[in-house]
Chain A
């Protein structure tokens, strides 16, 4: 036994492990690779392929050794890294400048790419995910409550707009606060019974909640249109000016500003609309983080029992996180419905929740800028990978794994403390 026995298993045990794998592959390989049926003049005959089998077993043996070697080293590196906690004292002003840079880029993007509808559309999708990511960041990143059913609130927002606009003729702006409130209410409804649960158990209940909402939408046909969804949802207007070719109904955006009608106006308007919504979300969440309730969210994430011992009503802290996260998801849902003009339960499946959660985790729990970078990655990677056709999702998965191996704490694991003694009172 070496002194590193607890870190790296010795050679003998590795060989034994690989031999075991080789034996299993031999067992499986004999019928699948070793023996082959061939057509011998109308009848079936069995041909053997022992060299192939040998090569297969040898590959498995060597492959297992290599895999274990790599895994051990990854584990060792991770353990080393885990021992050093990121220093909180260091400020990172450049992170702020990157943030401003990203906002600046987002502002000029549709102008720089005007005429390229695909780019602006994709950027709009990215921004929807950014907004959802920022909303979920409150629940998962700050309050540390693992929510696997976040898409339910997105759906509540989208259906609130879909139903109110098609049945009662409500506009985008009137519906926005109502949908936010409806989603927040659902957040509290979900939050209330799950307050005692933690970690895995909470994740399961939220997962179930997400499915319940989706199944209701699928099955309650009278209410939600069932699997057919809701169509012809009115598009948002520019302060009452619709984006349509000249019509007799009244002035349109193009006619009012004496522009030539172009369908691009709407694409650009939608882009700027979600940009404004996202920036407001960011402002709101950043402000909340610096308020007592934001610090309380983080404290609950760090240690719930200690919070109780300090006289904090953990129930209220968690509910506020659930409600605010849900409300932001609801806003994003309204925008989604308005942009698509058509919604169906198809858009609110579990994989959406998983994608949003992946954005938060990949970006770095609690980091606003991290969410942006992760959203860009998660939307663009599959888009860029279109050339690889069916290998697209494989590449996507591999990229995710690589990022998590490279940066286990997420892309931006840095946390800027809310209070600093050095410059106290400097922040608002």
Chain B
């Protein structure tokens, strides 16, 4: 068992009378890909929102084991602290880029905190001090590195909003990587990608977890991605965990088959 990065303990999220997530416990290891799957409305995105501080969970805790800061309770942090201090960075199901800014600028904005500190809250930057110039060069280099790695370098000076859907998804991942995350939470990164693009995504995810030791938490519907790259899969339905395990275990789990295809009933089977 490898080192745990994130531990979600008995998480519950209620919206009025609706229980979107019910008593969910998940652990995400370092350097591995963990997938959350489940039918539409199972509470996957709500789960992400609870992890990253966009929602305050009703009950339970989300604990991040940070190599420098030690254990951190994400459920008690404002959303920007989750990314800045805890190193948990997410992407969005409906892509959220800065559409009128260039691809490069999108990646520079992700390094705002480092740059802002280097610019001494604009004072050193205003007078063009050397320290700030160095920080700027470093930020540009990091952006360039990820752009090259994700085959986006040719598009660096194009407005992000002008690009195709698949490319925008890649930019969003590149931008998240510029925050130097320990845990990368990707919300349906393969949605809208063609088969070639999703094969490239698989490669990228494996590269990030194996070579860079990043924890990856993945919400995905595309089983070509989920089953090929996941080390561990957690299946949600109506906010509760119905199965967990390796891709093989999950594929053969009767509860999962029931949730996806319905009961073992002649009519339902045909409909599915």
Query: Do A and B share a complex?
Result: yes
CB closest residue in chain A, given B106:
A299
Bound complex: CA A303 to CA B100 (Å):
10
Interchain CB contact under 8 A, A312 and B113: yes
Interface string of B138-175 (1 = CB under 8 A from A): 00100010010000010011110110000000000001
Interface string of A246-283 (1 = CB under 8 A from B): 00000000000000000000000000000000000000
Name the segment of A170-178, A186-194, A208-216, A284-292 touching the other chain. A284-292
Q: With contacts A288-B122, A310-B112, A311-B179 known, is A85 near B98, CB below 8 A?
A: no
In the complex, what's the smallest C-beta–C-beta distance from A377 to chain B, in angstroms? 25
Interchain CB contact under 8 A, A293 and B116: yes
Q: Does A112 contact B (CB under 8 A)?
A: no
CB closest residue in chain A, given B84:
A311
Which chain B residues lie closer than 8 Å to A422 at the CB level? 157
Q: Does B108 contact A (CB under 8 A)?
A: yes
Which chain B residues lie closer than 8 Å to A314 at the CB level? 80
Q: Does A420 contact B (CB under 8 A)?
A: yes
Interchain CB contact under 8 A, B105 and A418: yes
Interchain CB contact under 8 A, B109 and A310: yes
Interface string of B20-34 (1 = CB under 8 A from A): 000000000000000
Bound complex: CA A313 to CA B54 (Å):
13
In the complex, what's the smallest C-beta–C-beta distance from B51 to chain A, in angstroms? 11
CB closest residue in chain B, given A424:
B140
Q: Which of B95-122 contact A (CB under 8 A)?
A: 96-102, 104-105, 108-110, 112-113, 115-116, 119, 121-122
Q: With contacts A288-B126, A291-B119, A419-B102 known, is A307 near B157, CB below 8 A?
A: no
Interchain CB contact under 8 A, A309 and B162: no
Chain A interface residue bracket vs B: 35 or more
Interchain CB contact under 8 A, B104 and A420: yes
A419 is contacted by which of B108, B121, B125, B128 (Cβ under 8 Å)? B108
Q: Which of B203-238 contact A (CB under 8 A)?
A: none
Q: With contacts A291-B126, A292-B115 known, is A299 near B101, CB below 8 A?
A: yes
Interchain CB contact under 8 A, A293 and B159: no
Q: Does B264 contact A (CB under 8 A)?
A: no
Q: Does B267 contact A (CB under 8 A)?
A: no
Q: Does B11 contact A (CB under 8 A)?
A: no
Q: Does B83 contact A (CB under 8 A)?
A: yes
A85 is contacted by which of B89, B97, B147, B161 (Cβ under 8 Å)? B161
Q: Does A63 contact B (CB under 8 A)?
A: no
Bound complex: CA A425 to CA B144 (Å):
13
Interchain CB contact under 8 A, A87 and B162: yes
Q: Does B92 contact A (CB under 8 A)?
A: yes
Q: Does B240 contact A (CB under 8 A)?
A: no
Q: Does A241 contact B (CB under 8 A)?
A: no
Interchain CB contact under 8 A, A308 and B108: no
Q: With contacts A302-B99, A428-B128 known, is A293 near B157, CB below 8 A?
A: no
A295 is contacted by which of B92, B109, B144 (Cβ under 8 Å)? B109
Interchain CB contact under 8 A, B83 and A311: yes
Q: Does B137 contact A (CB under 8 A)?
A: yes
CB closest residue in chain B, given A415:
B100
Q: Does B90 contact A (CB under 8 A)?
A: yes
Interchain CB contact under 8 A, A299 and B179: no
Which chain A residues lie closer than 8 Å to B161 at the CB level? 85
B112 is contacted by which of A85, A88, A296, A417 (Cβ under 8 Å)? A296
Q: Does A89 contact B (CB under 8 A)?
A: yes
In the complex, what's the smallest C-beta–C-beta distance from B181 to chain A, in angstroms? 9
Which chain B residues lie closer than 8 Å to A95 at the CB level? none
Q: Does A147 contact B (CB under 8 A)?
A: no
In the complex, what's the smallest C-beta–C-beta distance from A419 to chain B, in angstroms? 5
In the complex, what's the smallest C-beta–C-beta distance from B104 to chain A, in angstroms? 5
CB closest residue in chain B, given A304:
B96
Q: Does A421 contact B (CB under 8 A)?
A: yes
Closest 3 CB pairs of A and B: A311-B83, A311-B84, A302-B98
Q: List 6 A-B contacts (CB under 8 A).
A: A295-B112, A302-B98, A309-B91, A417-B105, A417-B157, A421-B147
Residues of B that sit less than 8 Å from A by CB: 52-54, 79-85, 89-92, 96-102, 104-105, 108-110, 112-113, 115-116, 119, 121-122, 125-126, 128, 133, 136-137, 140, 144, 147, 153, 156-159, 161-162, 175-176, 179
Beyond A291-B126, A418-B108, A419-B108: 8 further Cβ-contacts under 8 Å?
Answer: A85-B159, A85-B162, A88-B157, A298-B101, A299-B112, A308-B54, A309-B176, A311-B113
